[in-house]
Amino acid sequence: MSRPPYSEIVANLPSVTPFVGPETIERQQGKPFRVRIGANESAFGVSPRAAAAMSEAARGVAWYCDPEGYELRAELAAMHGVDIGNVTLGAGIDDLLGLIVRMYMDPGDAVAASLGCYPTFVYHVDGFGGRLETVPYRNDRNDLTALTDLAERTKACILYLANPDNPTGSYYGSNAISDLLDRLDRLERVSPGCLFILDEAYLDFVPPDTVLPIDVDDPRLVRVRTFSKAHGMAGARVGYAIAHKDIIRTFDKVRLHFGVSLVAQAGALASLRDPEFVASVVKAVDAGREDYRELAEDTGISSLPSQTNFVAFDFGTGERAGTVMNTLIERGVFLRKPAAPGLDRLVRVTVGTPGDRAVFSEMFREVMNEVS
């Protein structure tokens, strides 16, 4: 009996596990983690109103959800001062990134991004047969000029930027982003046009007056946002895209229409209606980042400035960063680090609760004494 051949794209993909979850490591180590601060989830939980709305919605799961996600989209649109036709939902930004890549990229097309950028974007580019072109980070920030030059040189169909960035935590305000858009305009004269994906997963953690205003008449740009971070709903899987109406209508050709569950829609809606909760998370994360900065300073390690819910600790070399991280993982702290050259000296530490931070601080000091 012969096995039918896989598609050429899939047959040529390396065998990968997209993300090794903490659950996998717990199974391997035969013990649970004491602190889970490796995946930039929110340690501060979910809004009590969202939790109640999700419990209530759970009783209704015999029925399919609203495939248009109408109520949630309407509320998001009102919040951003746009029309409901400018918003679509997805099962997190991860889902939306796959859809956008599918909408704009043909197999073999070039796509521009930073070397070591958010891996799920790369995963989708590979998975749909694209060609990832990269430029390195510069001074631990995305190099915006090099990125647009790269897009021009390679005739990229998509330029991807996470702002604030994962894994560095760095952030560019509105002037830098509108300059980037101006450079993309010039680029349009040499290539048929390059879509700019602005991944704003961590936007809740930046001062609102620094954010590029939303302009849904601009067809060059898709902005993606999530309930996974400040809203504390990573496990529910809800994100959304804001874009020109034509683009949002095109999402309908490829999106999974029941992909954002009834429970997730209800939770996100209730969380949106609880801005005080989100503000309290942002404040708690601020305090946690300051704790980490002090811990790094105390232990003679530098840390990168961050506008996210994590801080990147800089160990100078990939080897040292790997040793520290792996030792902490063995002792019960779930952490992750980037693998890309230039960034592999970093270990990313998510802001945990004060209790998480106390445990982490104790273990970190212990391990730093042993390794240095």
Ligand X SMILES: Cc1ncc(COP(=O)(O)O)c(C=O)c1O
Selection from 201, 230, 231 nearest residue 49 by Cα: 231
Output DSSP code: residue 221. Answer: E
352 touching ligand X, by CB under 6 A? no
Query: From the list 46, 53, 101, 162, which residue makes contact with ligand X (rule: CB under 6 A)?
Result: 162
Positive or negative: CA dihedral 363, 368, 369, 370: positive
Q: Of 110 and 113, which has the nearer Cβ to ligand X?
A: 113
User: Could you tell me which stretch among 3-11, 86-94, 106-114, 361-369 binds ligand X (CB under 6 A)?
Assistant: 86-94
Query: Is 184 in contact with 326 (CB distance < 8 Å)?
Result: no
Residue 350: CB minimum distance to ligand X, A = 9
Counting every residue written for the chain, the total comes to 372
Q: Which stretch binds ligand X (CB under 6 A): 90-98, 152-160, 179-187, 359-367?
A: 90-98
In this chain, which stretch among 18-26, 66-74, 92-100, 313-321 interacts with ligand X, using CB under 6 A? 92-100
Q: Is 93 in the site for ligand X (CB under 6 A)?
A: yes
> Does residue number 166 form part of the binding site for ligand X (CB under 6 A)?
yes
Q: Which of 152, 158, 147 is nearest to 116 (CA)?
A: 147
Question: Total residues contacting ligand X (rule CB under 6 A)?
Answer: 13
Q: Does 92 bind ligand X (CB under 6 A)?
A: yes
Q: Binding to ligand X by residue 340, rule CB under 6 A?
A: no
Q: Which of 288, 312, 285, 286 is nearest to 301 (CA)?
A: 312
Helix %, strand %, coil % for the chain, to 5? 45, 15, 40
Minimum distance of ligand X from residue 119's CB (angstroms): 9
Residue 166 Cβ vs ligand X, minimum distance, rounded to whole Å: 3
What are the angstrom distances between the C-alpha of 250 and each of 73, 77, 133, 145, 214?
16, 18, 26, 30, 19
Residues 17 to 46: which contact ligand X by CB under 6 A?
Answer: 40
Q: Per CB under 6 A, which of residues 221..240 are in contact with ligand X?
A: 226, 228, 234, 239
Q: What is the Cα 311 distance to its own chain's centre? A: 14
- 261 part of the interface to ligand X, by CB under 6 A: no
Whichever of 181 and 234 has its CB closer to ligand X, that residue is: 234
Helix or strand or coil: residue 137?
coil
Are 22 and 135 in contact by the 8 Å Cβ rule? The answer is no
Does 206 sit near ligand X (CB under 6 A)?
no
Cα–Cα distance for residue pair 5/14, rounded to 1 Å: 16
Of 44, 104, 118, 196, the one binding ligand X (CB under 6 A) is: 118
Site for ligand X in 264-323 (CB under 6 A): none
CB of 15 to ligand X, least distance (A): 23
d(CA 274, CA 272): 5
Contacts of 178 (CB under 8 A, 6+ apart): 212
Q: Which of 147, 201, 242, 321 binds ligand X (CB under 6 A)?
A: 201
Return the number of the residue (187 or 212) whose C-beta is nearest ligand X: 212
The answer to whether the CB of 226 falls within 8 A of the CB of 239 is yes
- The footprint of ligand X (CB under 6 A) covers 40, 92-94, 118, 162, 166, 199, 201, 226, 228, 234, 239
